[in-house]
A and B are shown apart, each in its own frame.
Chain A
Amino acid sequence: MTQHLHQPARATQQIAASVLEARTAKFRRDTRLNWLPPLIGLLVLALWYLLTRDQATAFGIASPIGVAQQFITTLMNGTLLRHIGVTLLEICIGLLAGVSSAFILGYGIARNRFLEQAIGPYAVGFQAVPIIAVAPVLIRIFGPGIVSNGIVCALIVFFPMLINTMVGIRNVSPDLRDLMRSLSATRWQIFTRLEVPAALPVLLGGLKISATLAVIGAVVGEAVSAQAGLGYLIYSARYVYDTSLVLVGVFTLTALALTLYELVSRLESRLLRWQRAGH
């Protein structure tokens, strides 16, 4: 009897042990190559230093030390933070406007055949319009500055989000929809309890792409008209051949894009925790 009672406990222990073992193996796998990115970074840095050690090449390419010094200077005197602030604001406007409008339109196209026929081709065709040609029109309408650049940003993030919304919503199983309807679920309940959760992995994939593209959007907007922002910083630094400041701007933009990507990734792992638990 006692033996019988102990059997489930032993089985549970065995399962727990195998799960632990699997997780440990995964952790080892994950951490085994963690040293690789920093090593590649160091190698690139060393190569860059060697190539720019000679002052004669300093005009064309800044040295890593020059870039580091410029970074510290612009950070300490507040210049860099001011430009980051402007670009971030443009990105926020762009992401908010672009992602929300793409989601609404993408959902409409995915769920409504009439909208798909009527707007679908235009929405896709619009992606081919060069933003640099549209930007002057936006400046005419909204005036030069942050709003125009935010809208340029929105236009760039719009398409990937639109496509991912359409794909995500279309992939929701019709059987599940029927099941929800048979349970007298309202449209809103189907939307919030079924469609959005089911499409979430694809939607967040779109958001990841949009977040990084938003950075490019802000820079494109600032190329046309701006008085501040990281794109403006790069263009004005290029004008005075300050290559170290150009690279400070480029690296800051890269860091900004990586940060945004990481934020969305964290949001993704939080929102999709239920999915992993299900597995």
Chain B
Amino acid sequence: MNRLLKVIFVVALLAGVIINAAQGNAIVAANGAQASTPESTAPATPSGPAIPITLFVGYIHNIQFAPLYVAIERGYFKDAGIDATIETSFDETDGLTRIAADQLQFGLISGDQVLLARSKGAPVVYVFRWYQQFPVGVVVPADSSIVKPEDLAGKVVGVPGKFGASYVGLQALLNSAKLKESDLKDVKAIGFDTAPIMCGKQVDAAVIYVANEPAQIESKCFKVRVIKIADYANLMSNGLVTNEKTLKDKPDLVRKMNAALAHGLTDTIADPKAAYDLSRKYVETLAADDPVQMAVLTASIDLWKTDKYGYSDPAAWKLTQDTLVAMGLITDPVDLTKVFSNDYLPEP
């Protein structure tokens, strides 16, 4: 009997944990719907049911997505008749493949991915440039002799992997300095946990995301200096991507998505503190007042600022394609007019 009670207790405990976790997931999944709660500042929904849209993002919930949270929480999507839900994932290629197959209609995807997919025949189109500056850079210790891209010659440089936006960024930076990868002593694939590798001085320099990683390294070991790739080669970065079918069948939906995103961006840039507070609902680990995360948001805002929200610069697309062609990742250049469009942007 005693044993039976123990078993019942353990089963009940496990069931409680599972139910609790399921409820937590439901809250996360219903993030988009939360904007319609009575506490929300959302304006009234237009007549007719809201269109459910799953917005794919290639990372976990993070302060760098603050404009999305602001747009949801302040009802900019709802106001446009869109019931937006965020889907987070580490697999950007999977997200873009699903957008190409029309299993998803929208995602925040990097420019290089769009070009690569397009070169393989994927009917995807980049419709809103979120990051105005390519967010990747090269970090070195503050006392390092490396101060400009040319100084990387003969050095060991760490990259997360020999593919992806970081590696493309490094190649573009080397191209800008008329260097080749063979001019470096070595390019090491060090994974995504850069701070310990840098702190252990296993590499002379490392390719990082400028918004968050320099702050992380500085908080763990020493002061660093960042060479922003955007200062030498401003490649296309993350933006809103959709597919040709959605553009053809629902052009208004694309315009509304762009407008809501632009609204979220302008609000975040205008009031980072409010955006930070709204983001806490989505980013579980975000403390009420975390200076490092606030610094990440501030650094990200610098990468988003522009006077033409969403506008894609054709020169940046050409530069990105030229880099991918030089790397041998694209053999036949694609028609750039089909890769992106500035025709669905909100009025300034």
Residues on A facing B (Cβ under 8 Å): 55, 58-60, 135-136, 139-140, 143-145, 224-227, 232, 235-236, 238-242
Contact = CB atoms under 8 A, between A and B. Distances in A.
B97 A241 contact: yes
Contacts of A232: 161-162, 189
Contacts of A241: 93, 96-97, 116-117, 119-120, 122
Contacts of B329: 240
Given A59-B122, A241-B117, A144 B188 contact: yes
B101 interface: yes
Contacts of A240: 116, 120, 163, 329
A139 B190 contact: yes
A225 B187 CA distance: 12
A139 B138 CA distance: 20
Q: What 4 A-B pairs are tightest by C-beta distance, nearest first?
A: A136-B193, A225-B191, A239-B163, A236-B163
Contact of A143 (B96, B164, B193, B202): B202
Interface string B88-122: 00000100110011000000000001001101111
B237 to A, nearest CB: 16
B200 interface: yes
Contact of B117 (A59, A225, A226, A235): A59
A137 to B, nearest CB: 8
A74 B329 CA distance: 15
Contacts, number: 73
Contacts of B191: 135-136, 139, 144, 224-225
27 contacts: A58-B121, A59-B120, A135-B191, A136-B192, A136-B193, A139-B191, A139-B193, A140-B200, A140-B202, A144-B158, A144-B189, A144-B191, A144-B197, A224-B191, A225-B161, A225-B190, A225-B191, A226-B161, A226-B189, A232-B162, A235-B161, A239-B164, A240-B163, A240-B329, A241-B116, A241-B119, A241-B122
Nearest to A136: B193
B251 interface: no
B24 interface: no
A227 B189 contact: yes
B333 interface: no
A247 to B, nearest CB: 14
B196 interface: yes
Given A144-B188, A224-B191, A236-B162, 13 more contacts: A59-B120, A59-B122, A136-B191, A140-B196, A144-B158, A144-B189, A225-B190, A227-B188, A232-B161, A235-B161, A241-B93, A241-B116, A241-B117
Contacts of A60: 97, 100-101
A238 B94 CA distance: 9
A60 B164 CA distance: 19
B233 to A, nearest CB: 19
A142 to B, nearest CB: 10
A11 B126 CA distance: 86
Nearest to B199: A140
A135 B161 CA distance: 14
Nearest to A143: B202
